[in-house]
Structure 1
């Protein structure tokens, strides 16, 4: 487990039991021995433009000249933190595949913010990046959003409320905060119901992606570990079913053995999310929806 990240999330805990995997979930076979490179060639890092209340993004982009689709990455952090340095290895892999990848911070409960502020920050970041599209070599007509955990929740919220976003990658984000601890132990259920919990302080219980699904929703790729002890896998699967019912293009995978990203219970579980099978799946999804 990542003790440094855990120390920054007050009251963080795992469920002592895994939530049941709903019937019909499609599994993605992952060989964790196949890992993406730590520093792929042909990628440069740049400071992103300022936006919102003094926020900045971190941009990874292909070194070669050209215009590239924009992928907005939203870091996780339990609505307590949103560190733009997160997932640099994974972001570099996508940048090397031919994308401008901007890691975008957003206000959290530490600033007294709610989800509406977070979404406003994301929209402001997209505005700032696309207004300087020539400088950052962005094709502003091809934009996707990608997030993990709290960032996955916000990615889904943004994708379902901002028509500029053509595709969404949501990795182990919540979609119905009223059921966010369903299937977990009593301690997790009690913690999620506590008004002091960051989910409730962020106002997210009143704003569920699953309630925003409608005809015309963007394409979604949803991924979840089957041993996630922080957000139950049914959260992404329920959103997948709602999207399919609305006629949207949605793909959902459960990854056997994977936990909750960097907050998995063991370092072995975190390696699923930096594996070649997972990251090539993300890249192929982006290629299909941003390059065709």
Structure 2
């Protein structure tokens, strides 16, 4: 378990047992990940600008390819249990996507530490998109090709942004929350108690008021959903609910269920965590973005 991320989330709870994965459905692909080949930590051909101030003291980090021209924009929204939004998260994975020809921005957004709710977080994401597209020439961005990507709480935020903003052409949601009222389903009693506490960050952020599955609509952007079947923080049924709602609305949605994978860098073991930085999984993300932002 990654202690750096654990220190960011004091009081975080885990279920002692995994939640059961529901039956297979159309568009759900189960995969066993080969963790031997990992994406590079610092790929060639990428420039990183850190700490760009975009809105009311909030900052973002921007990876851009060294190649000339306008590149599709991918806005990454970090997880953090709605308590923090550390823009340094997933730097390795973001650099890999940038090296594939994308401008990738990791966006700090307001959380409960700023006494914010999801509404302010969404406003921040929109402000970041406006900042980046408004400086498209400076950063080498194509403002007509935009994707959003998030993990955990950031996956929830990315899904909301993708379903509310008609400029978005692709959404990548890694193990994001969907229906906050059912977030403990399938977990042990400790998680039911923790998530039922109105004082925890999940509830104070007001995220139960907005379920991305309720916003599924014809014409929504394509979705790529990924979840580990040993996730002890957000049960796999959460992304399945969103996937089924998207498919019912006629949206292009594909969901991958990773055998033995946990909750990103908050997985129970290093081997579980390495699934998310594997070349195999990140190639799925890159290929999805290529199909929907370049095709």
Matched with 2:139 is 136
Matched, 1:123 2:126: yes
Matched with 1:4 is 4
Give the superposition deviation at 1:48.
6.0
Moved more, 67-76 or 50-59: 50-59
Determine which of 283, 287, 295 is the counterpart of 1:284.
287
In 2, the alpha carbon distance for the partners of 1:79 and 1:114 equals: 9
Aligned runs of 1:1-292 on 2, under 5 Å?
1-24=1-24, 25-47=28-50, 49-292=52-295
With the length of structure 1 as denominator, give the TM-score of the two structures: 0.98
Change (3 A) 1:122 1:45: same
With the length of structure 2 as denominator, give the TM-score of the two structures: 0.97
In 2, the alpha carbon distance for the partners of 1:213 and 1:176 equals: 13
Name the SS of the counterpart of 2:168 in structure 1. Answer: coil
Change (3 A) 1:162 1:189: same
Contact 1:50 1:128 (C-alpha < 8 Å) held by counterparts: no
In 2, the alpha carbon distance for the partners of 1:131 and 1:29 equals: 41
In 1, the alpha carbon distance for the partners of 2:4 and 2:61 equals: 21
5+ residue gaps in structure 2? none
Give the superposition deviation at 1:234.
0.6
RMSD, aligned CA = 0.9
In 2, the alpha carbon distance for the partners of 1:191 and 1:148 equals: 21
Contact 1:46 1:58 (C-alpha < 8 Å) held by counterparts: yes
5+ residue gaps in structure 1? none
In 1, the alpha carbon distance for the partners of 2:96 and 2:9 equals: 28
Give the superposition deviation at 1:49.
4.1
In 2, the alpha carbon distance for the partners of 1:48 and 1:158 equals: 22
- How many positions carry a matched residue from both structures? 292
Contact 1:48 1:102 (C-alpha < 8 Å) held by counterparts: no
In 2, the alpha carbon distance for the partners of 1:48 and 1:139 equals: 21
Moved more, 24-33 or 141-150: 24-33
Runs of 4+ in 1 over 6 A off after TM superposition: none
Q: CA deviation digits over 1:141-170, x for unaligned, max 9?
A: 000000000100000010011111111000
